[in-house]
Amino acid sequence: MSGATPKPEEAIRPEIRSLKGYQVPDASGMLKLDAMENPYRLPAELTSEIAARVAAAPLNRYPDASGRELKAQLTTTMGIPTGMQIVLGNGSDELIQMLALAVARPGAVMMGLEPSFVMFSMIAKFAGMQYVGVPLNADFTIDGEAMLAAIERHKPALIFIAYPNNPTGNLFDADIIARVIAAAPGLVVVDEAYHAFAGASFMPRLGEFPNLLVMRTLSKLGLAGLRLGLLVGHGAVLDHVDKVRLPYNVNVLTQMVASLVLRHGDVLQGQAQAIVSERASLLSRLRGMAGVKAHASEANFILFSVTGAGAVYNRLKQRAVLIKNLDGAHPLLAGCLRVTVGTPVENAQFLDALAASLAE
């Protein structure tokens, strides 16, 4: 026998071993403003109806593998253009993974903007793809020329553009995005996770671009606990993406409850409107605080910077307020923290805790 005994963990690829997993901090007992959840509950009539349906749900059966009823409801509620196909995911995270799995071949490149949603680059690693991040301008706008040059150079199989972007909160220039889609040799996903708070969308433009996919999620709309994402685009592409979807990935309860709640789409829409108006008041109050620089947002969160961001984040946590610390995540995010827009009471509580944390 020669050599050291191999350690079982060495069977795991080195790039996975060196990854830091997606961090979800323990939020028990905290005011939770870290994950862009909708702070409002559903009205009692609707929760009673959900309860009755859940009681009658055929949990002994697999779910409808193609999610027909839910897709029909989503088509109406989300204004999906006729002729477009839908792939459902267990959250949009799963759709990102399906896309990466479907395009990953040796040397295949996934391209994104930096800073943006961290799961794009993480999932590229999971799938063995090379990830190329194109930096945003200092004001978080998209650098169209840099993006087009990077496309020319790297010929990405897959590009993700979050619209609005997380964690910066802004919408990119639609004309630049259209040029990127037209120039891309592969698929371009416009990730509209925050669409409900933005009022701008590429959904109506799907017909213009055979390589465009629009991704949405119910997570920010008020149904984060259900885990449902959707990818919309041409059948010529999505019929293949659907093959890497695991059978029955969207469970019986999610399909049933999402269909029911979406039939009352005005409820979620009303909550989104309340969040949008709270966002304006939170922004102006943040901007009124000495030492705080707050960025405008088209999403349900606000990015702001302070000096000593790490310490301020920890002091907020000691006051039982959980937000997201982005300081150090990217050079453009130096000193940045991100807060989800909550209810008026929650936002007031957050602002008080922030004022006290800044004064400490």
**Residue ranges in contact with ligand PMP by CB under 6 A:** 36, 91-93, 117, 162, 166, 191, 193, 217, 219, 229
The least CB distance from residue 340 to ligand PMP, in Å, is 10
The least CB distance from residue 358 to ligand PMP, in Å, is 26
Nearer to ligand PMP, 233 or 315 (CB): 233
Helix (H) or strand (E) holding 341: none
Measured between its terminal Cα atoms, the distance across the chain in Å is 62
Q: Are 140 and 173 in contact (CB under 8 A)?
A: no
DSSP string, 84-147: -EEEEESSHHHHHHHHHHHH--TT-EEEEEESS-HHHHHHHHHTT-EEEEEEPPTTS---HHHH
Phi, psi at residue 142, to the nearest 5°? -85, 135
Q: Which residues contact 270 (CB under 8 A, 6 or more apart)?
A: none
Rounded-to-integer distance, Cα 194 and Cα 218, Å: 9
Strand boundaries in the chain, DSSP class E: 31-32, 85-89, 109-114, 130-135, 158-162, 187-191, 212-217, 229-233, 293-294, 301-305, 321-322, 324-325, 336-340
Nearer to ligand PMP, 91 or 342 (CB): 91
Nearer to ligand PMP, 126 or 308 (CB): 126
Rounded-to-integer distance, Cα 178 and Cα 58, Å: 45
Rounded-to-integer distance, Cα 169 and Cα 197, Å: 10
The least CB distance from residue 75 to ligand PMP, in Å, is 18
Nearer to ligand PMP, 257 or 358 (CB): 257
The least CB distance from residue 127 to ligand PMP, in Å, is 16
The least CB distance from residue 119 to ligand PMP, in Å, is 6
Nearer to ligand PMP, 92 or 201 (CB): 92
The least CB distance from residue 132 to ligand PMP, in Å, is 18
Nearer to ligand PMP, 201 or 219 (CB): 219
The least CB distance from residue 95 to ligand PMP, in Å, is 8
3-state secondary structure of 321: strand
Nearer to ligand PMP, 301 or 350 (CB): 301
Q: Which residues contact 259 (CB under 8 A, 6 or more apart)?
A: 69, 70, 73
Nearer to ligand PMP, 103 or 118 (CB): 118
Rounded-to-integer distance, Cα 333 and Cα 91, Å: 26
The least CB distance from residue 329 to ligand PMP, in Å, is 13
